[in-house]
Chains A and B, each alone.
Chain A
């Protein structure tokens, strides 16, 4: 009998250790990235204002030249611009598909669209980047204008990549609506579309907002696909057809060209730390939207 009880206890503690491991990993990531990221300000004496609000980027410039210049605004603005634009392109399709799967054709339509969404998720991001680079960029260069590598190209590639998140999370939200409200509305003589637009959609709103925030978080964090098509020019994103940079693409490009412990390396960690803080902000936002509802 003792043996059985011991194995019970060992089981409980082993699984608890696995959970503790997750806590340890999370804390060490936060700690290490915060430690490296804050060095820019604590050790290198860069002001937070310069980092967030100026646009001149040349962290290798010596003090004699007036440097280092570490204005990260072009990257921050670039990430915001490309993510919001991608969201703008993707939201009509994502929510449209969610309504299609839950309200219009919940039978065969759903059976077809569910695997379609899963395949969109399954395509690796470098493949999206490669298709963007070999098809979309030349298309924009030849038929729209500019060099092809542009904010527009980045936003279109991202829009396709965040579409499955938007569609599947919104669909869950529509499906979670009680059938009573739909039937109540239809019984009053309201048309199908009016029911969807005026009853089902408002009821599904928190879930749809959650989908939008999750999609935005994914857009912010995507690195390689965007980096391959966006042109990587350090400038504010002022025109749709101009090349630009994002927070993730500058980290991808420059991390291997800089030496640990220098300003030009530290400032990349600061950008990574900002990405971490932004993903916290998204988590808090999702929790606020869903306050009082069960969410994981």
Chain B
């Protein structure tokens, strides 16, 4: 019989069931990718370049993904910090501030494929950078800047007011307070946010299809000449990333083992994202403990 009491029990049961189903789905997804993928992954797979025949690897793709990630972060972290500092410390609720916030919101809500073709138009075509690392980094920067700005603003706003006031009362200027007190106190939040957004940048593909391109030249890792087109560090060479590679082998894969390649590459991508996740928690906690002396 459906009394209020029974319906209460049924409802609680249903919510536990939903939580269980969702967790089981996640475990199944990650388990499936790791199980399928790790059968393929070996040392050869991780370091050799893709091939038209069976037995190709994903070495250059892993390198490209890391390179794009690092360059993007070098650009977005300082810029995002700048925006975050301005919005949390200097901005008054004026018209300009409202425009900045609307712009961040607009950028953050743009589909990444739209950012990708914007990059195709501006960086690849108008600026004539071609399908290149540089174009890819710029597209990723546009994608990540709004995220980074929000992370920075939140982390800085969460710093306790007392710290600011104590510093100002000691005669420090506003800028000295920001650099020496507020930013230092905001480090745990910043680190967590930066690493989590790194995971997102690492897995991004749609914004890179038409900017960093879907090919990689034959790379010579001994060649450190930054202006030579087969140097891995040449900024104007195309650079297919791991995520783009997974998409490509599925849509235009020519290798007979494209299924295994996609399995292996997905597993590596998932492992990297898991590492980013764990690292962000661990580092954030570690730095917090160090700073508070616990």
- The interface of chain A, by Cβ under 8 A from chain B, is 4-5, 7-8, 10-12, 14-19, 21-23, 25-30, 32-33, 36, 92-93, 96-97, 99-100, 104-105, 109, 112-113, 115-116, 118-120, 122-127, 129-131, 133-135, 160, 163, 191-194, 196-197, 217, 220-224, 228, 248, 251-252, 255-256, 260, 268-269, 272, 275-276, 279-280, 282-283, 296
Q: What's the least CB distance linking B66 to chain A, in Å?
A: 15
**Chain A at the B interface: mostly helix, strand, loop or mixed?**
helix
What is the bound-complex CA distance between A126 and B120, given in angstroms?
20
Is B87 touching A283 in the complex (CB atoms < 8 A)?
A: no
Contact A104 B22 (CB under 8 A): no
- Closest Cβ of chain B to A55, distance in Å, is 23
Residue of A nearest to B25 (CB): A160
Q: Is the CB of B85 within 8 A of A127?
A: no
Residue of A nearest to B85 (CB): A15
B209 CB-CB contact with A under 8 Å: yes
Tell me if A125 and B203 are in contact (CB < 8 A): yes
Distance between B98 CB and nearest chain A CB, rounded to angstroms: 11
16 residue pairs A–B, Cβ–Cβ below 8 Å = A11-B174, A11-B178, A12-B90, A15-B82, A16-B90, A18-B81, A18-B83, A22-B100, A97-B22, A100-B19, A113-B22, A123-B30, A126-B243, A194-B8, A221-B113, A272-B113
**Smallest CB–CB gap between B15 and chain A, Å?**
4
A residues in contact with B36, CB < 8 Å = 134
Could you tell me if A119 and B107 are in contact, using CB atoms closer than 8 angstroms?
no
Complex contact B18–A32 (CB within 8 A): no
Residue pair B90, A15 in contact (C-beta under 8 Å): yes
B51 to chain A, nearest CB (A): 20
**A19-B111 in contact (CB<8A):** no
Whether a CB of chain A sits under 8 angstroms from the CB of B33 is yes
Q: Would you give the shortest CB distance from B31 to chain A, in whole angstroms?
A: 11
Chain A residues, Cβ within 8 Å of B78: 18
Instruction: Judge whether B26 and A120 touch: CB under 8 Å.
Output: yes
Residues of B within 8 A of A119 (CB): 26, 30, 274, 277
Question: Cβ of A118: which chain B residues have Cβ within 8 Å of it?
Answer: 196, 277
The verdict on B259 contacting chain A, using a C-beta distance below 8 Å, is yes
Contact B15 A255 (CB under 8 A): no
Pair A26/B12 contact, Cβ less than 8 Å: no
Task: Label chain B's interface by main secondary structure.
Answer: helix
| Cα of A112 to Cα of B23 in the assembled complex, Å | 9
A15-B82, A23-B99 known; A133 vs B250 contact (CB < 8 Å):
yes
A4 touches B173 (CB 8 A): yes
Given A32-B122, A252-B113, 11 other A-B residues pairs in contact with their CB atoms under 8 A: A14-B82, A15-B85, A18-B86, A19-B91, A93-B18, A96-B14, A96-B18, A105-B16, A126-B205, A222-B111, A276-B114
Complex Cα–Cα for A8 and B171 (A): 13
**A8-B173, A19-B83 known; A223 vs B262 contact (CB < 8 Å):** no
Which one of A124, A251, A276 lies within 8 Å of B243 (CB-CB)?
A124
Q: Identify the interface centre among B5, B18, B204: most chain A CB within 10 Å of its CB.
A: B18
Chain B residues, CB < 8 A from A17: 82
* Total A-B Cβ pairs within 8 A: 249
Given contacts A11-B178, A17-B82, contact A126 B16 (CB under 8 A): no
A27, B5: Cα distance in complex, Å: 57
- Chain A residues, Cβ within 8 Å of B29: 123, 131, 160
Give a binary string over B90-110; 1 marks a CB under 8 Å from any A CB, 0 the rest.
110000000111111111011
Q: Are A272 and B117 in contact (CB under 8 A)?
A: yes
Q: Is the CB of A15 within 8 A of B86?
A: yes
In whole angstroms, what is the CA distance A91 to B200 when docked?
A: 24
Taking a contact as CB atoms closer than 8 A, the residue among A97, A113, A126, A220 that contacts B247 in the complex is: A126
Query: Which residues of chain B have C-beta atoms less than 8 A from A131's C-beta?
Result: 29, 32-33, 266
| B100 cross-chain contacts in A, Cβ below 8 A | 19, 22-23
Of the residues A193, A256, A275, contact of B11 by C-beta under 8 Å:
A193
Least Cβ–Cβ distance between A150 and chain B, in angstroms: 17
Cβ of B288: which chain A residues have Cβ within 8 Å of it? none
| Complex Cα gap A129–B120 (Å) | 23
Query: Is there an interface contact between B266 and A22, defined as CB atoms closer than 8 Å?
Result: no
How far in angstroms is the closest Cβ of chain B from A277? 11
| Contact (Cβ within 8 A) B121 A32 | yes
Closest to B259 in A: A134
How far is B26's CA from A115's CA once the two chains are assembled, in angstroms? 11
Contact A127 B178 (CB under 8 A): no
CA distance A122 to B275 in the complex (A): 11
One of A26, A99, A112, A120 near B107 (C-beta < 8 A) = A26
> Which 3 A/B pairs are nearest by Cβ-Cβ distance?
A124-B203, A221-B111, A18-B82
Q: Are B12 and A217 in contact (CB under 8 A)?
A: no
Determine whether B269 belongs to the interface, using a CB cutoff of 8 Å to chain A: yes
Least CB separation from B17: chain A residue: A96
Q: Which residues of B contact A99 (CB under 8 A)?
A: 15
Within 8 A of A (CB), among B210-255: 210, 243-244, 246-247, 250-251
Let me know if B176 and A23 touch, CB within 8 A. no
Q: Which stretch (B39-47, B53-61, B144-152, B158-166) binds chain A?
A: B144-152
Q: Which residues of B contact A26 (CB under 8 A)?
A: 103, 106-107
| Contacts A99-B15, A109-B19 given; does A25 touch B112 at CB 8 Å | no
Does the CB pair B109–A282 fall under 8 Å? yes
